[in-house]
Amino acid sequence: MDTTGTLLMPPAGSTIAGEVDAIFNLILYVSIFFFILIVGLAAFFVFKYRRRGEPGLTSGVDHNIKLELLWTIVPSIIVVMFFVVGFRLFLKMNIVPANAIEIKVTAQRWMWTFDYPDGANSVNTMVVPVNQPVKALLSSTDVIHSFFVPDFRIKMDVLPNRYTVAWFEAVRIGEYNLFCAEYCGKGHSEMLGKIKVVSEDDYKEWLEESFKVDESMPLEEYGESLYRSRACNTCHTTDGSGSVGPTFKGIYGHQVILSDLKTVTVDENYIRESILDPRAKVVAGFQPVMPTYQGRLRDREIDALIAYLKSLKE
Amino acid sequence: MSSMPEKNYLTEKRGLKSWLLTLDHKRIGVMYLIGISISFALGGIFALLIRLELLNPGRDIVGAQTYNQLFTLHGAVMIFLFIIPGIPAALGNFVLPLMLGAKDVAFPRLNLASWYIYVFGALLAVVSIFTGSVDTGWTFYTPYSTQTSGAVVTMTLAAFILGFSSIFTGLNFIVTIHKLRAPGMTWFKMPLFVWSLYATAIIQVLATPVLGITLVLLILERVLGMGIFDPAMGGDPVLFQHFFWFYSHPAVYIMILPAMGIISELISTFSHKRIFGYRAIAFSSFGIAFISFLVWGHHMFTSGQSELASMIFSFLTFFVAIPSGIKVFNWLATLYKGSISLDTPMLYALSFLFLFAIGGLTGMFLATTATDIHLHDTYFVVAHFHYVMFGGTVIAFLGGLHFWWPKIWGRMYNENWAKISALLVFVGFNVTFISQFIMGIKGMPRRYYTYLDQYHRMHGFSTIGSWIMGLGFFIMVVYLVHSIYKGRPAGSNPWGSLTMEWETTSPPPTENFAGDMKLTHGPYDYDKIVPRTD
């Protein structure tokens, strides 16, 4: 079990997480003190001065300069302190170290795509080396999303019209959740990714591997792994149940009705077209929301996905 | 044993028409009360459905699309139809002229017009539910709200129209407070609830037009394709956030300021003690109202706005805490050496202190930029917001409702059932939302239809809490409705309060008082007068 983080906070996976937690705890302790003060005094007064019998005249004291200055100035000093420590760390969280490697992150409904410096790419899993600052250059192709990694204590909105930046330096090898934190529609809660933190050597090896086409695996099996790693499973089921897109079960070889009421048989060419130009022929009853995989999948990978769909008979 | 007055505003004229065409602020207040109660019930049912769906990950009762509509409707209905008009338009309408010793508000026809506008807006919102519904969240963030299908235009138009109802009420109150105070009631002899309504009215009049304009721009973009917010048409989505929060942050204070006003009345009345720091409480309302216009950017620390903007907004945000804190300490000082009775309204006032303290203090974590980055858009924000809006505003509203209920209907509710209900609401609320604080800190994002297993237990607690609250409210409806018909007559001043609305019969006559009112004592002169309870 991961023992970093605090009682309330999740494990601390980045260099700044511990510092955020320290400020969180500072505010927490001050808050607990004031909460006990307020509720304690209220409870004590209610008990001590509870009404016994008919009420008479009560004290008319309605101000006390010393007391009022005290409860104005002390909280003011405390909040200015919170502001200062919070903003100092905030600046650090916003200034990207010069030696950071840059990974382009593209958000779209409802998946994450990562482009690495030397041309490799991945979907929904961001692979990064440990103990190395990483700059995530964020943009969206549709609505606003938000790049949120709780264990790293970072969050940054991903906008369609401009680039935003988030950076982190992971301190431990492992897998961390990536959430979309800005509401983006039906698949918002399933727009999940992983940050996979690996050693420097494993990172290099992964980058090299990603350029090799896996020739060894049977097409069908390879297609099944792609179905998951390329996030087809976010919107397409294989058990016949409905989701954001049509289920893959038994779809191959069948005729489907399109949104313009034409019919088309789902064959190799239709599948290939739907992967590369998904909005060309949309099945009736579904929204044209699938992003294109143009440039993201190689021919052998498309072949593998077609083989996988063929295997999903009813 | 007191009895009901022969002639009062409820019985003087009869029939539906006499209600629908009434210019009496008390009847309009009651009609508002009915409107917001229906809205609250509707929003509450949405909330229970949301919590039920979230009992387990994946599908429990509805699909993702329906869930998204449910949380949008819960927010939109609660904000625009319940909580903004709640205290000012329902309770404020009823008691403001009574507290001032006036016969009515300054513009009775405008008052009735605002009610019709409210009803029209509310019906339009209901129409939008049946004509495609809305799945944007109550914040209508662009470009999602420009691109999604559904009745976004109808819903935003409803919110736009409801804004006018709010502006009318605000204008009416400002003029009423300036012009219709009883002879002798100088500004600093006004009850603090009146001060808070005054500060609220100023925000209503100044801020609501900005929301109106923003929503109109959104409608123009959707209907005419004018590129204002949608980058696909050359617009800027973050601009919408600035516009939206420029209204919606001050709107939070439209919701909380009158609640604080009620708490001042309750604490003084049930402690039988002069309110401590009268001027500090009155001025702090204006301090809060002023700063509230300058803090909207604290909703946008992760939006990509500049660090400088975040710095300024963070700094200013902290200074909302100071006047709020001053009020809390003044209320505590009022309890000191009082003669405290624990009738139901006072239980609500004490539960307000407890819940609002949590709501306010958790705001510190969100005003601090470094910690907000982690907590923003998680359940922590959801819980903080509900502690302030429910734990603050709704609890104060319920306190005020139970306080003035005998004045409105002339009859008492069952005190034992009222206490049981207050306790259930208090416990249920804490169970529902403390678990949301915890899962928010652990990273659970808001507006999620399904969630990872690690959050399952906390969601379970939260849902159980919602059932406890639901039970509390069910009991409340039963004993309140029962009391209208069967409650024992309340007498004119059942709590022994010194503000002016208790100097007339319960229910009051149509013209409010028998004869002209003159101020004979201050609203909190418990050190000079022992009020008669009858």
Alpha-carbon gap: B236 to the closest alpha carbon of chain A (Å): 7
Question: Which tens digits make up the pLDDT trace of B55-95?
Answer: 999 999 999 999 999 999 999 999 999 999 999 999 999 99
Q: What is the residue extent of each domain of chain B?
A: 16-503
The predicted structure's pLDDT at residue A293: 85
Lowest mean pLDDT across A117-126, B166-175, B268-277: A117-126
Q: Which of A57, A62, A144 lies nearest to residue B275, judging by beta carbons?
A: A62
pTM given for the model: 0.91
Burial class (CB in 10 A: 0-12, 13-18, 19+), B294: middle
Alpha-carbon gap: B119 to the closest alpha carbon of chain A (Å): 30
Using an 8 Å CB-CB cutoff, list chain A residues near B324: none
Is the Cβ–Cβ distance between B433 and B380 less than 8 Å? Answer: no
* Cα-trace Rg, chain A: 28
Is the Cβ–Cβ distance between B425 and B417 less than 8 Å? Answer: no
B482 touches chain A (CB under 8 A): no
The predicted structure's pLDDT at residue A135: 97
pLDDT at residue B390 is higher than 50: yes
The predicted structure's pLDDT at residue B4: 82
Sequence-ordered list of residues with C-beta below 8 angstroms from that of A265, at least 6 positions apart, any chain: A253, A254, A255
Peptide bond into A291 cis (omega under 30): no
Arithmetic mean of pLDDT, B459-486: 97
pLDDT at residue A1 is higher than 50: no
Arithmetic mean of pLDDT, A254-279: 89
Residues A101-209: name the CATH superfamily.
Cupredoxins -  blue copper proteins (2.60.40.420)
Q: For chains A and B, what is the number of CB pairs under 8 angstroms?
A: 259
Backbone dihedral region of B415: left (phi > 0), alpha (psi from -120 to 50 degrees) or beta? alpha
Question: Which tens digits make up the pLDDT trace of A65-83?
Answer: 999 999 999 999 999 999 9
ipTM of the complex, rounded to two decimals: 0.93
pLDDT at residue B532 is higher than 50: yes
The predicted structure's pLDDT at residue B340: 95
Question: Any idea which architecture B16-503 has in CATH?
Answer: Up-down Bundle (1.20)
Backbone dihedral region of A261: left (phi > 0), alpha (psi from -120 to 50 degrees) or beta? left
Arithmetic mean of pLDDT, B207-219: 90
Percent of chain B with pLDDT over 90: 83
Sequence-ordered list of residues with C-beta below 8 angstroms from that of B304, at least 6 positions apart, any chain: A156, A157, A159, A162, A164, B238
Burial class (CB in 10 A: 0-12, 13-18, 19+), B41: middle
Local structure of residue A9 (DSSP, 8 states)? S
Residue of B nearest to A140 (CA): B231
Other Cβ atoms within 10 Å of A35 Cβ, number: 16
Is the Cβ–Cβ distance between B238 and B304 less than 8 Å? Answer: yes
Q: What is the residue extent of each domain of chain A?
A: 1-42+64-95, 101-209, 219-311
Using an 8 Å CB-CB cutoff, list chain A residues near B534: none
> Is residue B375 within a helix (H) or strand (E), and if so which, with residue range?
helix B369-375
CATH for A219-311 is 1.10.760.10
Tokens of B223: 């209907």
Arithmetic mean of pLDDT, B397-408: 97
Tokens of A139: 């943009």
Is the Cβ–Cβ distance between A59 and B527 less than 8 Å? Answer: yes
- The CA distance from A210 to A118, in Å, is 11
Burial B100-127 (b: 16+ CB within 10 A, else e): bbbbbbbbbeebbebbebbeebbebbbe
Q: How far apart are the first and last CA of chain B?
A: 8
Question: Which tens digits make up the pLDDT trace of A14-38?
Answer: 999 999 999 999 999 999 999 999 9
Peptide bond into A117 cis (omega under 30): no
Task: Report in angstroms the alpha-carbon separations of A237 from A125, A231, A275, A294, B294.
Answer: 20, 11, 16, 22, 48
Q: What is the dihedral of CA B180, B185, B187, B188, to 10 degrees?
A: -150
The predicted structure's pLDDT at residue A54: 81
B4 touches chain A (CB under 8 A): no
- The CA distance from A282 to B345, in Å, is 59
B283 touches chain A (CB under 8 A): no
Reduced to 3 states (helix: H, G, I; strand: E, B; else coil), residue A22 is helix
Interface of B with A in 53-92 (CB under 8 A): 64-65, 68
Residue A169: pLDDT band with limits 50, 70, 90: very high
Other Cβ atoms within 10 Å of B468 Cβ, number: 18
Burial class (CB in 10 A: 0-12, 13-18, 19+), B482: middle
B355 touches chain A (CB under 8 A): no
Reduced to 3 states (helix: H, G, I; strand: E, B; else coil), residue A106 is strand
Residue A3: pLDDT band with limits 50, 70, 90: low
Closest alpha carbon to B441 in A35, A178, A29, A10: A10
Question: Which tens digits make up the pLDDT trace of B355-373?
Answer: 999 999 999 999 999 999 9
Sequence-ordered list of residues with C-beta below 8 angstroms from that of A225, at least 6 positions apart, any chain: A217
